[in-house]
Structure 1
Amino acid sequence: MLIPTDVPLVGFGGTRVYLPGAVTLSVTIGNYPQQITKDVTFLVVDCSSAYNAILGRPTLNSWKAVTFTYHLMVKFPTQYGVGEVQGDQIAARECYIAMLEMDNHLPAMCIEERWAVAEPIEGIKEVRLDDTKPEWMTKIGTLASLSVHQALKSFLRDNLDVFAWSHEDISRINHSVIVHKLNVSPSFSPVRQKKRVFAQERDRAIVEEVRKLQEARFIRKVYYPDWLANVVMVKKANESGGCALTSKI
């Protein structure tokens, strides 16, 4: 019954646990007639635990459940009134103590090992693709033989048209290949966000990025009297320190 999944669970320490799969089970909570039955998808973890299952917030929200941690109680609406599930304080304490004992027997992970950085197996070398334009550079590995290196360099120079050095170099994508649309329900009324005020430095950066996108015909000016989304600045990962723009929906 397991469904394969490639989504790992990430712990507080940054460790990743890869899952054998997921399974969907029918879960009934409450006492008749104040009870509900719904299908719940559980992520299966291959590890020792004192708990059989952990219910997350999406499941509790789908039940419209209200939790009372002090009283170890969960209440939820049903067709026949308010249902409830009462926890066992003794069992809860036993599970808590059992989890603490398991943690004491688990091997501790050294901080130095966790922050260890993998070393690259080869170096990289910058290659100029056009002698008349020194900024047109790319990087290739250094382990290749001289003949392979020369062949790769010639291949890259012969295909300069596939590189995009600026916004203007990126051609439009035909709508028959791919198109992006917002899946907005027409039954919902549009919402105008409150205009966000940026610092002068960020304001100038936004104006410059918008100018580039307009000149490349990536975007155009439109007027939405009832809808507005503020731009969000995202710092680039390269060394230039620039920022990219996106709209937060």
Structure 2
Amino acid sequence: MEGAAAEQAKTRDDLLVIDLTIHDIDVARVLIDTGSSVNIIFQETLAKMQIDPSEITEDASPLVGLSGEPTIASGSISFAVKAGTVEKLTEFLVVDLPASYNAIMGTPWINSMRAVPSTYHLCLKFPTSHGMETIWGNPRVSQICLAAELKRKRSDLDTTPKKTKKTISDEDTQDLAELFWQSRRADALEEKREPTCEPVVTVCLYEAFPERCVEIGANLHEPLKTKLIASLKKNLNTFAWTAEDMPGIDINITCHELNTDPTFKPIKQKRWKLGPERATAVNEEVEKLLKVGSITEV
């Protein structure tokens, strides 16, 4: 009992390390870092997840940690991240560096989850449609990761020759950042140039309704062009030209719902007034959706 009491009396300064499901894969050793302004996943983690490197969007971005040393992220990638019963599409910056963690979830993901992390209680709480959920961290895993990280950093210092060790001054960091933003501005100017569009031709798929047409590339060669038109006409019923063409869509296919917190009291807002033309257009669209059953009055 005295040993247990002494253990509880120790100051809790462990980092919050949890398990998450990323891209339908259970990933351990995920650090929750409220001091990080980005979400980070490491190249080694992607290799373990068997993610094709071609899925990484190449977009070099500078990262500066507490040490002040800049690191360039090789690109970005987006995954569905599931915590408990809540799933969010999350963008990660990809970093090719050795680390004790598989991923670092920063403030973008924490804020999107409306989560509250606690390093004292080693848990992460967030609201769901069914109430609050809690994910608990593992203090043992946190301590192992921290020890491995400190050991790796000491090893890096020991293996770095003092004569060849180079320090990066504030001016060097500013120069690197300036070069990066100059390249980004140049890329932005390139993107503003007038885009070149491939010529297209209009093809009518149903003679009884000449307005039901599609556009295909004018440079398509035969017999690909003929096969494409034949396939489009054969699958004509696949296309929905108006709301009447898709009545009674199964709610399991698509459903729109407002993400509201049921614990808050509803507040009646001021009625929005529309001009005569807009009001008429809105009423006509609502009548169409009511007629086909896409919406219902509650």
Q: Give the alignment's TM-score, normalised by structure 1.
A: 0.49
Greater RCO, 1 or 2 (C-alpha within 8 Å, sep 6+) = 2
- Pick the structure with more helix per residue: 2
